[in-house]
Amino acid sequence: MTDHRGTARLWLPPGDEGRRGVSSLVRRDIHATAVDVPCLTLDGLGLRDVGFVKIDVDGNELPVLRGARELIARDRPALFIELEARIQPIAPIVDLLTRHHGYRGWVLPGDTWLPLGAFDLEAHQEDTAYVVSQGLLRRVLTPRRPRYVNSVLFLPEGRRPGAFAVRDDGAHAR
């Protein structure tokens, strides 16, 4: 997903075919080869009544959000976005969602949701970057403290985490 239809270059680590979850439209030092892939926008999919969107695009968050402008304005979905300061600055994404779309960010560093404005995400990620090297499976199966926080829940202003029911919209949603 991005902000235009067409093709884009997807970067892959050496020997990877895109199955490890570290491919990206933004080239980093881990990437060696690239393939051209089709691009779509969320707005271009024609979805309606969207309640939740998960975005994990390793540095391509702004184009994905720009390509979902109509969907965000119309449906006001919860947005769960992986943000990594080591990949790109976080501030432009937060600014777009808070200032231009009226959203508020929330993080879960422990057992309680905190407003993103009261949590220094970039400093936290810098202080806990060593946790990332442990691998996803080890981090999930053997939770360690401190937790490495890289996911932010953005909700329309006035909504809070846990304050609304999750809908089951039938078989098509499963």
pLDDT tens-place string over residues 8-29:
888 888 887 777 777 877 788 8
Angle CA(45)–CA(18)–CA(62) in degrees, nearest 5?
45
Q: What value does the mean pLDDT take over residues 90-116?
A: 95
Q: What is the pLDDT of residue 141?
A: 60
Closest CA to 161 of 123, 109, 106: 106
What pLDDT, on the 0 to 100 scale, is given for residue 174?
Answer: 44
- Average pLDDT value for the chain: 86
Amino acid at 153: L
Amino acid identity, position 93: I
- pLDDT tens digit sequence for 26-69: 788 888 899 899 999 999 999 999 999 999 988 889 999 999 99
pTM flag (> 0.85): no
Question: First-to-last CA distance in the chain?
Answer: 21
